[in-house]
Structure 1
Amino acid sequence: MAFRLNAPSLQAHLCVKGGLEAIAFYEKAFGAECTYKQMAEDGVRVLHANLALFGSEILLHDEFPEFGGPVASPHAHGGASIALNVNLPNPSDVDAAMTRAEAAGAITFMPAGDVFWGARYGRLTDPFGHVWAFNAPLAPG
């Protein structure tokens, strides 16, 4: 796999405990497509995966405590330190995305609702500890 970059960009790289299960969850919950996956030498953990979702791409890998360093899943750190914000075109898309994720096992902690900045917005936590926020502009008026 050759790495190519045409312009600067920012990309989330998620660390999870249970990489194969996480890939399956993101496929079911968010309609993700795993475009690349490399397993670790142990044949159990995901060394690297690329997932296409919501018009973007995220990277994913399992925990590797034997490598040292501060990178670990949110569960290992006691919670997520960031939220992945998904901007959608329509308010109904927020409700649909959250309903689909909940059906796949996500836990909503901020139900979708209309918020002061003129958007439909809601937040949930996936089974791997990552926080996802869904946002769509409300119709003017």
Structure 2
Amino acid sequence: MSHITALYPRLVVDGADAALDFYARALDGSVTERFTGPDGRVVHSVVEAGPARFAVKDAGDGDPAPTGDGVPVIMSLDVSDADAVAERMLGAGATVIFPLADHGYGQYAGRLRDPYGHQWLISQRVEELTPEQIQERVG
């Protein structure tokens, strides 16, 4: 029987080295793996920020980076201090899509776009609610 041992997102970007610098600074993380192909493009790298882990690679080999307003994935990042994380991301070059706000269903959250086209939902739990309470407030 097969078991899942890990699941993490892979972000495809144009300019992986600059993206790695952005993600490390914006998320107070570090690049723990970085591998390049013969042409110097990053074919695999890993950023770790707290318990979160995700991969970044340069576009190519059939993997396109997002263009325009295309959103192949939204990164959902649960944090203990949404304002601090958003401030670091904005300071590193992210832009606001939806400002941080209390959404009434137990989350203080907003959405940012990084300089490489990926969207990040920054979320902080501010109230413990049951699934039924959340549904009532959302619906």
TM-based fold match above 0.5: yes
Equivalent residue of 2:116, what SS? coil
Tell whether the 8 Å contact from 1:87 to 1:135 is kept in structure 2 after alignment: yes
Which residue in 2 is equivalent to 1:88? 79
Gaps of 5+ in 2: 129-139
Kindly state the Cα deviation for residue 9 of structure 1 after the two structures are TM-superposed: 3.0
Mapping of residues 1-141 of structure 1, within 5 Å: 7-43=4-40, 45-64=41-60, 67=61, 69=62, 71-75=63-67, 78-89=69-80, 93-139=81-127
Q: Secondary structure at the match of 2:117?
A: coil
Letter in 2 for 1:21: A
**Residue aligned with 2:23, SS:** helix
Task: State the Cα distance separating 1:55 from its structure 2 match.
Answer: 0.9
For the structure 1 residues 78 and 88, does the alpha-carbon distance in structure 2 shift closer, same or farther, using more than 3 Å as the test?
Answer: closer
How far, CA to CA, are the matches of 2:25 and 2:9 in structure 1? 19
Question: TM-score normalized by structure 2?
Answer: 0.83
Note the alpha carbon deviations across 1:61-110, whole angstroms, 9 max, x for none. 1011xx3x3x21112x7421321001123xxx101100110010000111
Q: 1:119 and 1:47, CA in 2 relative to 1: closer, same or farther beyond 3 A?
A: same
After TM superposition, the runs of 4+ consecutive aligned structure 1 residues lying more than 2 A away are 6-9
**Is this contact kept in 2: 1:125–1:132, CA < 8 A?**
yes
Distance in 2 between residues matched to 1:116 and 1:10, nearest whole Å? 30
- Code of the residue aligned with 2:65 in structure 1: it is S
CA RMSD of aligned residues (A): 1.9
* Inter-partner Cα distance in structure 2 for 1:114 and 1:99: 17
